[in-house]
Chain A
């Protein structure tokens, strides 16, 4: 079979112009126009959609709404999604803007209460005198003797002004189990911290908690920084 017999000679031009050719030309022209219109409308549509992309979401919701039988509920549901969208956007924005946790405002310790405690320890137990004394100049025996007095006095001051309690009831060395949600401020776990609570471990220190504070009140204008006035005997 000779292939050349099917070859189309593109150089060929119609030599005659009949009604068939007119029909063909018209059809081609109509198809081209239709294609252009379609393309143009698509471009316009895309352009519009970029300008307001919310419209379709709302439309979809509205469609769902229409299936609901009661009118009051329709209003409510329409309202909520709008608010919800705003809400989510806000949080997303925040996370994007501040990846680090917000700064914490630190509470400054009151100097007066601390000074007052020093006053009590010095006044009733000579605590400052003892701590500030040059210990290297004295023998262990001398220091030990005086330490007894200071220790006793300090203990009295503490007991008088604070109530103490151990955080763990159990004894040190006992094994205990910390359940999920235990208070990490009260109990600090250390060592092999893996997996999830409950944790089981050994009590190293029972902890201390102050359950009551009974500090004396002071008069307005009291200079708390004088923790021991100079004493002059006349």
Chain B
């Protein structure tokens, strides 16, 4: 019998006598306390009202206030499948416990601790992909700290975005788009691109590394016993990322100890997420012969992919057959477009807007747009309060109407066009060399038309997918949307309407919408699910490389004065090369000089599916091959004389990670050299 029980018994024996003495209607539990403590400082005059939970009859059993800060790490010995959506404007990390190894898969999105203003740390589901290069005197000492690091190297996340909104010259944004920007060295400190010399710059590579490192540390803070470096990790990249950008992403992960990370294309991740969320039902919603069009419109980029559904021995197979170009056009453009519409309206009334007002207007337009799309109001007032402490004086006001939203967003970004329409591209005026190559045509439907027409033959290899005679584009049968933009029903409806009008003119059935996707978090969720799928726990999308790759070689012909030598494109990696395979160009010999850097021009084609390794192209259409950053190789001098010419042949491999590796093999011995993508300009 425990001491407490003894006390309770005594108390029970005592109480009748108490009642007879009419002391006070003290209840039993307090007597227990009294006997138990037996000293003088008994505080019996404050009866507690906590034990009333069972008496509630007609009220909501609301949970008591909880303190969420004290989480206990239970990760010891656990294994997770982690997916990171390394977005242009936001990063998201999703994960699932796969320790048990059964077929159950339930995942969650990690709250990423980050500074939201100096000295204030908050957990948010998204880490804004921004980096701020603060001035030494700008922020109070000791205010830039993180729960796991008192001196972070970089200021990233929400605080970077909010500080940068007022001081854009110090803000690094869209680092990811720079990774895929031909013509710059992504490892040289170039961002922020338009900053004064005073501002210390970082490279797009380092910025990417900083975002990854922040998430790695936030994870470790949450699960000290299960570091991210020991988990299955999938990082998503746009399907349109070229081999160099993929390599840089993997390298960034590797440099912070996440060498096990593998890559996944974002539209594929979105489809994986949809498959996971339908919980097996997808087999009923998709059927053999389907061509699924994934339209992923993020904050800054538009990514298109086509996935064919075929049958193999009674099992449905998914093959990613085509990806679109890297289009720098996204949801942020839409908000900006609305802000400029309102700005024009205000300027017509003779008001001059300052940059900060335009920015506040952009923010206001984003919310007004959501309100118009989600309710049936016809106009939403827009107010830009004065920056000073007096709000009302100097307040700028206008309104955003449904007609404006329709004409600017729906007709501007998703115009009703014929499928024969193509994006307009004008010659750029003036200095454009330093900036990102933003899409010139905002018409997403025109980009889509161009993509579908260009990829008309993408699914030719499958017997079950047949285009009717006279078709001018590949007919998708199903559409999966991704990205917050499509939360607006009006926009997704318009896109479906335009696509279906194209299909109807070619007598094809209308495409159906694959419903049930989580538009904001699908990519990260799909990535985490992919880690699970890789263990053989679900259907895997096949695809391999999304393009065929070529090196430029000079053709053997007499030199013509004033004319550059003709270039031939030599196929070095075919379209659809699977992960874990490698090919060599044994017949084409090159003489490389030891110790000298040799550079090749490098091309990609997303349409030439028949070319095999070693195919030489003398002539190609402009839109068939696109030139990427040059590649280079330097033969080290180990065991060789400087200036010696070594006969080599080239080869390529697609790694399990999902990157393309180019190599030069010696024809005489077993020497081999890596051909690098990142070229210094």
Contacts and interface: CB of A to CB of B under 8 A. Distances in A.
Contacts of A185: 49
B618 interface: no
B65 A142 contact: no
Contacts of B45: 101-102, 104
B395 A217 contact: no
Contact of B57 (A126, A146, A182, A210): A182
B59 A91 contact: no
Contact of A95 (B23, B147, B166, B367): B23
Interface residues of B, number: 50
A142 B395 contact: yes
A219 B143 contact: yes
Interface in B105-123: 116-117, 119-123
A231 interface: yes
A67 interface: no
Contact of A218 (B14, B55, B119, B392): B119
A187 interface: yes
Given A84-B14, A146-B391, A214-B68, A179 B383 contact: no
Contacts of A172: none
B58 A178 contact: yes
Contact of A146 (B49, B60, B392): B392
Contacts of B119: 218-219, 221-222
Contacts of A142: 392, 395
A88 B23 CA distance: 9
B231 to A, nearest CB: 26
B142 to A, nearest CB: 6
A168 B60 contact: yes
Interface in B347-367: 367
A95 B52 contact: no
A212 B55 contact: no
Interface in B137-153: 142-143, 145, 147
Contacts, number: 135
A181 B23 contact: no
A177 to B, nearest CB: 7
Contacts of A219: 119-121, 142-143, 145
Interface string B389-426: 11110010100000000000000000000000000000
B148 to A, nearest CB: 13
Interface in B33-91: 43-46, 49, 52, 55-60, 62-69
Interface stretch (A16-24, A30-38, A128-136): A128-136
B387 interface: yes
| A-B pairs with lowest CB-CB distance, top 7 | A181-B55, A102-B45, A222-B119, A216-B122, A219-B119, A179-B57, A101-B45
Given A142-B392, A149-B385, A219-B120, 15 more contacts: A119-B120, A126-B391, A133-B392, A146-B385, A167-B60, A168-B58, A169-B58, A181-B52, A182-B55, A209-B62, A211-B63, A211-B65, A216-B121, A218-B120, A222-B143
Interface of A: 80, 84, 87-88, 91-92, 95, 101-102, 104, 116, 119, 123, 126, 129-130, 132-133, 138, 142-143, 145-146, 148-150, 152, 165-170, 176-187, 209-214, 216-219, 221-222, 231
28 contacts: A84-B17, A88-B23, A91-B24, A126-B391, A129-B390, A129-B391, A142-B392, A145-B397, A146-B383, A149-B385, A150-B391, A165-B60, A167-B59, A167-B60, A168-B58, A170-B58, A177-B57, A179-B57, A181-B52, A181-B55, A183-B49, A183-B55, A213-B67, A214-B122, A217-B122, A218-B121, A221-B142, A222-B143
Interface of B: 13-14, 17-18, 21, 23-24, 43-46, 49, 52, 55-60, 62-69, 116-117, 119-123, 142-143, 145, 147, 166, 367, 381, 383, 385, 387, 389-392, 395, 397
